[in-house]
Structures are given as structure tokens and as C-alpha cells.
Structure 1
């Protein structure tokens, strides 16, 4: 788990899908990137795509999900995996 207290960080290579789930209210996220943002090249993937959890259901809870993320395409459809 990443936290302010443990000062851990995560490196995500270019081209890898990534996202985050915060466990506390008022969480602050900070990114360091190696290029300017290019909105035309971005894709959003549904957080509860079957492929991500390898058939396991997404954990039941009440989540606050942005409209963009809620309307994102499922990974299976994006890459025609099924």
C-alpha cells in the first residue's frame, strides 16, 4: 500500500494501463510523467472489467466513480478478448 507515511512509490512503464483506488477521503495523488499529456491518445478502461480480475467479481462496496470512468469501455471489448 502506498501512503504518505511510508513514502513508497510505484513506477508504471509507458503504455501500461493503470488506475488507483483510494481508501480514505480527501486523498491527494501526484504523478511524474515523461511527456506532455495527449488527450487524443488516451483510453479509459472500466475498473470492473472481467479480464482485470481474472473472473473474480469486483469487491462489493460503495465507490465514487467519475462519469468518464463509469462510461469507459470494458477491457474485453477494447481488445476483443472475448
Structure 2
């Protein structure tokens, strides 16, 4: 399931490079809510997803790419 979420995030990131940052922010809010509810297992999954969104190899920013680079979803 996590791989599907990451693939979808990469597709969205290709269209809008700020989407990974916004999704990470939302994941942080969900993480805090789940931890507050005592649902530690689900919170850890959301945390792992949020950390993946910060991986610049998977989600490069415009600053990370040369001008002529193309982004390909893996």
C-alpha cells in the first residue's frame, strides 16, 4: 500500500513540484492526530510516508535539477 501511495505522490509531484511538501505537511497533521488517539501503528506508517516525501532522490525540487533535466516516475 505504501508503494502505491509513493507512486501516486511521484505522479502528482511531476505535475507540481510543491505537492510533496504539502503532502508532508498534511502527513504531519495526520500523524499528530493518530498519536493523540493512541493509534501508534498507523501513526508510524504515516510518519514513514512523510519521511519518504522528503527524499530528494524520489522527489527532487527545481533547485536539485539541471535546467534540461527531465523527471521520470519510477
Normalising TM by the smaller chain, what interval? Answer: under 0.3
TM-score normalised per structure 1: 0.24
CA radius of gyration, larger in: 1
Give the structure with the higher percent helix: 2
Tell me which of the two structures has the higher relative contact order, counting C-alpha pairs closer than 8 angstroms and 6 or more residues apart.
2
